[in-house]
Amino acid sequence: MNAAQQTLLSKIGEHMMHAMYFDLSRYLIAAGVLTAILWAGGRWLEVRRIQNRRAKRQDYTREFFSSIRTVFFFGVTTISTLVMREYGLVNFTIQEFSILTLAWQTAVMVIAHDAYFYWMHRGLHHRKLFKATHLHHHKSRTPTPWAAYSFSTWEAITEAAFVPLFLLATSLLGITYVGFAIFLFLWHMIIRNVIGHAGIEIYPRGWVDNRVTQWWNTTTHHDLHHSSGNYNFGLYFTWWDRWMGTEHPRYKQEFRKVTSRQGETVTGEAAVN
Ligand SMILES: [Zn+2]
Ligand SMILES: [Zn+2]
């Protein structure tokens, strides 16, 4: 191995460490902060627990360690994206940008990822793919915030592929993405992801009955996906499930039930068993 190859390898190693550090800290901060909020919420939040069933210690362990594996694949994807950038295949910049550019680029990326996630997720639920790819995530029947990245290797690769694919598409269209928009997108992704797996509904009463907020996914939405299977495939917004007829028939009803329990204690009855 010559000196140039050695330099390249150490550069790749360094980038890989930075990428994994960024992905790991996002996961630990988001899941850790939400766990702390739910714990601090005490009885006030406990009445909003969606399922009667509780996650076991082995669920937490599985969710945590498979999320660490996902972080590794996210790191590999970041390196691949940087290599693609070196070869001029993808284009993004860390130079100056306007707030308007940042806002629309972040919004476009979130909306595009929501579509990517919906269709990819439905694809992984196909009986020929489910066992090999997505069954691992569904081992969490009662998800916790730590399930956010709990994927099999194949699912981790499919999930991580979005960013390079998206940047490839925008580069082909001649759009230079702002690095900070990608950063905001990634933070938004993990925050919404841990909220979806919280197990306790944190959105306010009336959320699903408001003309605007009804399009924004809640914890109950994704929790119903984990407890009942073939409904609610969307990640951030409800529109794909509504357009495609895959919204859980009792979604709004369950949300109203969970959020109207204020002040009561959860005894025998829970929204979902
Ligand atoms: Zn699923
Ligand atoms: Zn999930």
Distance 168 CA to ligand 2 centre (A): 27
Distance 150 CA to ligand 1 centre (A): 11
Given this model, what pLDDT does residue 208 score?
Answer: 96
Given this model, what pLDDT does residue 263 score?
Answer: 58
Indicate whether 273 pLDDT > 70.
Answer: no
Distance 6 CA to ligand 2 centre (A): 41
Eight-state DSSP code of residue 262: T
Condensed to tens digits (0 to 9), the pLDDT of residues 146-188 reads 999 999 999 999 999 999 999 999 999 999 899 999 999 999 9
Given this model, what pLDDT does residue 268 score?
Answer: 40
Q: How far apart are CA 207 and CA 216, in angstroms?
A: 9
Condensed to tens digits (0 to 9), the pLDDT of residues 5-20 reads 788 778 777 777 887 8
pLDDT band at 257 (very low <50, low <70, confident <90, very high): very high
Given this model, what pLDDT does residue 78 score?
Answer: 86
Provide the β-strand partners of residue 169. none
Q: Which two tokens stand for residue 1?
A: 């191995």
Q: Are 236 and 256 in contact (CB under 8 A)?
A: no
Distance 13 CA to ligand 1 centre (A): 33
Distance 95 CA to ligand 2 centre (A): 35
Q: Are 84 and 168 in contact (CB under 8 A)?
A: yes
Distance 196 CA to ligand 1 centre (A): 12
* Mean pLDDT confidence for 125-132: 95
- Give kind and range of the element (H or E) at residue 57: helix 57-86
Q: How far apart are CA 150 and CA 153, in angstroms?
A: 10
Domain ranges of the chain: 10-259
CA-based nearest residue to 230, from 134, 113, 162, 111: 134
Condensed to tens digits (0 to 9), the pLDDT of residues 201-252 reads 999 999 999 999 999 999 999 999 999 878 999 999 999 999 999 999 999 9
Condensed to tens digits (0 to 9), the pLDDT of residues 49-78 reads 999 889 999 999 999 999 999 999 998 888
Ligand (nearest to CA of 196) = 2
Q: Are 66 and 150 in contact (CB under 8 A)?
A: yes
Q: Are 35 and 117 in contact (CB under 8 A)?
A: no
Distance 175 CA to ligand 2 centre (A): 32
Q: How far apart are CA 222 and CA 141, in angstroms?
A: 11
Distance 231 CA to ligand 1 centre (A): 9
* Mean pLDDT confidence for 87-111: 90
